[in-house]
Amino acid sequence: MNHFLEEIAKHLYSAYGDKLKDCCVVFPNRRAGLFFNKYLSELTEKPVWAPEYFTISDLMVELSELEPADELLTLFELYKVYCEEKNIQESFDEFYFWGEIMLADFDNIDKYLVNATKLFQNITDLRNIEDQFSYLSEEQIKIIKRFWQNFEPGWSGQHKDKFLETWKVLNNIYSRLRDILAEHNIGYEGMIYRDVADKLVNGEKINLPFLKIFFIGFNALNECENALFKYLSTRNLAEFFWDYDEYYLVNKNHEAGRFIRRNIDEFGATEINLSFSSLTTRKEIRVVSVPSMVGQAKILPELLSNMEDISHETAIVMADEHLLVPVLHSLPESADDFNVTMGYPVDKTPVYALIEHIIDLQNNSRRQNDQKWRFYYRDVLAILNHPFIHQDYETEIDQLIDDITERNKIYLTGEELNINTFLGSIFTRIDEPKNIPAYLLHILEKLARDNINQEHSYKALENEIIFQLYVRIKRLKEIIDNSSIQFLTRTLFRLLRKTLMHTRIPFSGEPLIGLQIMGVLETRGLDFKNLIMLSMNEDIFPGSPVSHSFIPHHLRFGFGLPTIEHQDAIYAYYFYRLIQRAERIILVYNSKTEGLSTGEKSRFIHQLLFDPAFSVNEKIIAYNIQANPEKPVWLSQDKISMDILNTYISENIKNKYLSPSALNVYIDCRLRFYFRYIARLEEPDEVAEEVNQLLFGNMLHAAINRLYEPLMEGEITSVSLRELLNNKVRINSAIHHAFNQEYQSVADKGKAEIEGRNLIVREILKQYLIQIINTDINYTPFRIIDLEGTYRMDISVKKEDKLLRVSIGGKIDRIDNVGNEIRIIDYKTGRVDRKISDIDSLFDRDLSDRNHAVFQTLLYSKLFYSSEKQQDKMIVPGLYAIRELTSNDFDYHILFGAQRNKEILSDYQHLDIQFTKKLIGIVEEMYNKDIGFFPTRITEKCEYCPYREICHR
Ligand code: SF4
* Confidence bin at 750 (pLDDT 50/70/90): very low
Rounded Cα distance between 72 and 78, Å, is 10
Same domain, 59 and 75: no
Rounded Cα distance between 953 and 948, Å, is 6
Examine the pLDDT at 104 and tell me if it is beyond 80: yes
Examine the pLDDT at 625 and tell me if it is beyond 60: no
* Confidence bin at 853 (pLDDT 50/70/90): very high
Q: What is the pLDDT of residue 261?
A: 96
Using CB distances shorter than 6 Å, the residues near ligand 1 are 669, 671-672, 675, 935-936, 941-942, 945, 947-948, 951, 953
Note the pLDDT tens digit of each residue in 385-428: 998 898 888 889 988 998 888 777 778 899 999 989 999 999 99
Residues with Cβ within 8 Å of residue 686, at least 6 apart in sequence: 405
Terminal CA-CA length for the chain? 58
Pocket test for ligand 1, best of 668, 672, 940, 949 (most atoms within 8 A of CB): 672
Report whether 542 contacts 576 (CB < 8 A).
no
- Residue 636 placed within a domain: no
CA-based torsion, 326, 327, 328, 332: positive or negative: positive
Q: What is the pLDDT of residue 627?
A: 45
Note the pLDDT tens digit of each residue in 662-684: 999 999 999 999 999 998 887 66
Angle at 250 between CA 248 and CA 256, to 5 degrees: 25
Could you tell me the residue range of the domain that residue 429 belongs to?
Answer: 347-505
- Residue 187 placed within a domain: no
Q: What is the pLDDT of residue 741?
A: 78
Looking at the structure of the chain, the number of domains it has is 5
Note the pLDDT tens digit of each residue in 194-228: 999 999 989 888 878 899 999 999 999 999 999 99
Same domain, 491 and 549: no
Q: What CATH number is associated with residue 333?
A: 3.40.50.300
Q: What is the pLDDT of residue 747?
A: 42
CA nearest 287: which of 33, 617, 15, 56?
A: 617
Mean pLDDT of 594-610: 86
Return phi, psi of residue 595, to 5°: 55, -125
Q: What is the pLDDT of residue 688?
A: 59
- Residue 635 placed within a domain: no
Note the pLDDT tens digit of each residue in 109-152: 999 999 999 888 866 555 666 667 677 777 777 777 776 666 66
Q: What is the pLDDT of residue 746?
A: 40
Pocket test for ligand 1, best of 664, 940, 953 (most atoms within 8 A of CB): 953
- Residue 99 placed within a domain: yes
Same domain, 867 and 815: yes
CA of 943 to the centre of ligand 1 (A): 8
Same domain, 339 and 449: no
Q: What is the pLDDT of residue 234?
A: 93
* Confidence bin at 593 (pLDDT 50/70/90): confident
Residue after which a domain boundary falls, among 456, 483, 505: 505
Same domain, 810 and 694: yes
Pocket test for ligand 1, best of 934, 942, 944 (most atoms within 8 A of CB): 942
CA of 675 to the centre of ligand 1 (A): 9
Residue 167: count other Cβ atoms within 10 Å of its Cβ. 18
- Residue 279 placed within a domain: no
Atom of ligand 1 nearest to the CA of 668: 7
- Residue 551 placed within a domain: yes
Q: What CATH number is associated with residue 656?
A: 3.90.320
Same domain, 544 and 594: yes
Report whether 505 contacts 341 (CB < 8 A).
no
CA of 951 to the centre of ligand 1 (A): 6
Pocket test for ligand 1, best of 630, 666, 850, 941 (most atoms within 8 A of CB): 941
Share of the chain above pLDDT 90, in %: 52
Same domain, 293 and 352: no
Q: Is the peptide bond before 781 cis (omega within 30 degrees of 0)?
A: yes
Distance, CA of 259 to chain centre: 40
* Confidence bin at 80 (pLDDT 50/70/90): very high
Residue after which a domain boundary falls, among 505, 528, 550: 505
Same domain, 748 and 845: yes
Note the pLDDT tens digit of each residue in 640-654: 999 999 999 988 766
Same domain, 164 and 82: yes
Note the pLDDT tens digit of each residue in 535-556: 999 988 887 665 678 888 878 8
Mean pLDDT of 608-624: 81
CA nearest 668: which of 847, 921, 809, 929?
A: 847
CA of 935 to the centre of ligand 1 (A): 5
Q: Report the SS3 class of residue 338.
A: strand
Same domain, 335 and 364: no
Mean pLDDT of 805-816: 95
CA of 669 to the centre of ligand 1 (A): 6
Distance, CA of 497 to chain centre: 13
Residues with Cβ within 8 Å of residue 332, at least 6 apart in sequence: 300, 301, 304, 305
Same domain, 333 and 301: yes
CA of 679 to the centre of ligand 1 (A): 14
Q: What is the pLDDT of residue 458?
A: 60
Classify residue 308 as exposed, middle or buried by CB count within 10 Å of its CB (0-12, 13-18, 19+). Answer: exposed
Residue nearest to atom 3 of ligand 1 (CA): 935
Atom of ligand 1 nearest to the CA of 951: 4
Residue after which a domain boundary falls, among 452, 477, 505: 505
- Residue 861 placed within a domain: yes
Same domain, 199 and 307: no
- Residue 633 placed within a domain: no
